[in-house]
A and B are shown apart, each in its own frame.
Chain A
Amino acid sequence: MMTSRSPIPSAPWLLAGPGALFFFGLVLLPLALTVILSFQAYDHSTGIQSTFTLSHYVTVVTDGYYLEIFWRTLRIAALTTLICAAIGVPEAYILSRMRDPWRSVFLLVIIGPLLVSVVVRTFGWSMLLGSQGLVNQALQLVGFAPARILYTETAIVIALVHVMLPFMVIPVWTALQKLDPMVEAAAWTLGASHFTALRRVVMPQVTLGMLSGSLIVFGLSASAFAVPALLGGRRLKMAATLVYDEYLQELNWPLGATIAIIVLVANLCIMLAYNRMVETRARRTLG
């Protein structure tokens, strides 16, 4: 354990072995089984068959019902990501310019809700957005007609932004911590306007944080379950609620597995593409 110069080859495997076995058995094995399941035929009266077929994938990519749900999922996740960036980036910048103790207190308030269960936060929004909720009462007070917000995509996006905001603030905040505030001040001294300093000095730093934040927010939004399940109602399904219904209501596990695998692969692809983009960008900025 002590000398890394003459490593005993068995030591790291003894240390990490139990965990590695556990993760093999409960991460890789179940995932492989699910991939296999997604190719297995299904019959409504006799259940899962032992014959293999591509039909579930064909169904999912040709049937308008599923395509609409995937399209809605992408649209909602993209919109959530955009709004999170529009709110989270300026907020992180404002936080970084505050003095302690306000800075730590407000950072805690902004990222603390991350630890509160999503069910709780979603329930809070369902009360706020309901037909008799505070938002509607406020709308009526200002003279607007009562709007139907609950069980619409708007409700899902609002609650998702609330759930995902900390994931945007954290990486941007981290990026800003690496920026010496004196550099911005130096830009002003050298004659740059506040806007130019923001654009040329602060933004390049922030962009990297914003990119990794967007990646996390998009991935988590696209596979979010509680928010669309509680605020979308029966009609407005997203990928995760669709998988849930296929598994626990329709009992068509192979089809559910197909959709879950598509969600996983899409997630991994976007993440890899994004990583590559971030790397190229970082190299360009540094070199």
Chain B
Amino acid sequence: MQKNGTIALTFHVLVLAFVLAPLVIICLVAFTPENTLSLPTTGLSLRWFKAVFAHPDFMASFWNSIWLAALSATLAVAFAVPAGLAISRYSFPGRDFLNALFLSPLIIPHLVLGVAFLRLFALLGATGSFAWLVATHIIIVTPYVLRLVLAALSGLDRSAEQAARTLGAGEWTAFRRVTAPMILPGITGGWLLAFINSFDELTMSIFVTSPATVTLPVRMYMYATESIDPMMAAVSALMIAITAAAMLVLDRAFGLDRILVGQR
């Protein structure tokens, strides 16, 4: 294999610096002891992290986002696994349409989904409830789960399943005891990816959250447009930490490159 030359490596280092710069600056500023957004020059302080944990709005939004992400990822799995089975194992009229329908939230801009949900909820008189927010997040994260489930199902050796059936297992038993464990990595990876995507979502959520259900990214957006103090950096640093932790789990367990590259 040909090695990269000096020019290539210089380019590579510059790209890395570009990619990491905004994340690094956030993590540094989060530890500032000052009252303004500034690099910590005199010493490190945790005061802005304490301020975040003492801020009732941020904490409420944080837990709101965690519950929202966990619920919508779980329900997305509940929709995507049977749908994946139907799409990968049967040929039936409307199969391609169903597949396109389930994956369409990847193509429709979140902005458009946001205003569309807003219209529907206004007509139903349903704005502002947590349940509806969960429903919208299920829509945007289901495609991620479905893709990984479909990939897992297509790479599956079906002889084990057939053996179970021959030995007298019912369809449900064969699924529960043989197929499900075999596609479990795909399901878990899909769940985590769905969780992260829901946890980070801003553009669609900003249209469908009410004051009682503001998610963390929406809260951060509102905060950033109104005031500038290092608390924003501290919240951001916490979000980076949570994402990095989820990313490491994903990478250790399934290989992040496989999950993200297999995505789109």
A residues with CB within 8 A of B: 1-2, 4, 7, 9, 11-13, 15-16, 18-20, 22-24, 26-31, 33-34, 37, 87, 90-91, 94-95, 97-99, 104, 106-121, 123-128, 130, 134, 162, 165-167, 170-171, 173-174, 181, 184-185, 216, 219-220, 222-226, 229-230, 239-240, 243-244, 247-248, 253, 256-257, 260-261, 263-264, 267-268, 271
Q: Report whether over half of chain A's contact residues are helix, strand or loop; otherwise say mixed.
A: helix
On whether the beta carbons of A87 and B79 are closer than 8 Å, the reply is no
B49 within 8 A of A: no
User: How far in angstroms is the closest Cβ of chain A from B223?
Assistant: 10
Q: A34-B115, A94-B8 are in contact. Are A119 and B221 (CB under 8 A)?
A: yes
Task: Select A170's contact among B21, B171, B261, beta carbons within 8 Å.
Answer: B261
A121 to B12, CA, bound (A): 20
On whether the beta carbons of A90 and B105 are closer than 8 Å, the reply is no
Residues of A within 8 A of B71 (CB): none
- 30 examples of A-B residue contacts, CB within 8 angstroms: A2-B161, A4-B90, A9-B92, A11-B90, A12-B90, A16-B86, A19-B79, A23-B102, A27-B101, A27-B116, A30-B113, A33-B116, A94-B8, A110-B15, A115-B247, A116-B239, A116-B243, A119-B236, A120-B236, A123-B224, A124-B21, A124-B26, A127-B22, A162-B19, A173-B261, A181-B1, A223-B109, A247-B118, A256-B115, A264-B109
A128 to B20, CA, bound (A): 12
On whether the beta carbons of B80 and A19 are closer than 8 Å, the reply is yes
Task: Select A27's contact among B80, B86, B104, B206, beta carbons within 8 Å.
Answer: B104
A170 to B80, CA, bound (A): 24
On whether the beta carbons of B86 and A230 are closer than 8 Å, the reply is no
By beta carbon, the residue of chain B nearest A98 is B4
Residues of A within 8 A of B15 (CB): 87, 91, 110
B183 within 8 A of A: no
On whether the beta carbons of B171 and A240 are closer than 8 Å, the reply is no
Residues of B within 8 A of A19 (CB): 79-80, 82-83, 102, 142
On whether the beta carbons of B217 and A97 are closer than 8 Å, the reply is no
By beta carbon, the residue of chain A nearest B26 is A124
Residues of B within 8 A of A107 (CB): 257
Chain B 62-92 residues near chain A, CB threshold 8 A: 79-80, 82-83, 85-87, 89-92
Task: Select A271's contact among B12, B37, B107, B225, beta carbons within 8 Å.
Answer: B107
Chain B 1-41 residues near chain A, CB threshold 8 A: 1-4, 8-9, 11-12, 15-16, 18-23, 25-26, 29, 37
A10 to B185, CA, bound (A): 28
A186 to B263, CA, bound (A): 32
Residues of B within 8 A of A225 (CB): 110-111, 202-203, 206
A172 to B251, CA, bound (A): 20
Q: A37-B119, A124-B26 are in contact. Are A117 and B202 (CB under 8 A)?
A: yes
User: How far in angstroms is the closest Cβ of chain A from B2?
Assistant: 6
On whether the beta carbons of A240 and B203 are closer than 8 Å, the reply is yes
User: How far in angstroms is the closest Cβ of chain B from A164?
Assistant: 12
By beta carbon, the residue of chain A nearest B238 is A120
Q: A91-B11, A225-B206 are in contact. Are A12 and B23 (CB under 8 A)?
A: no
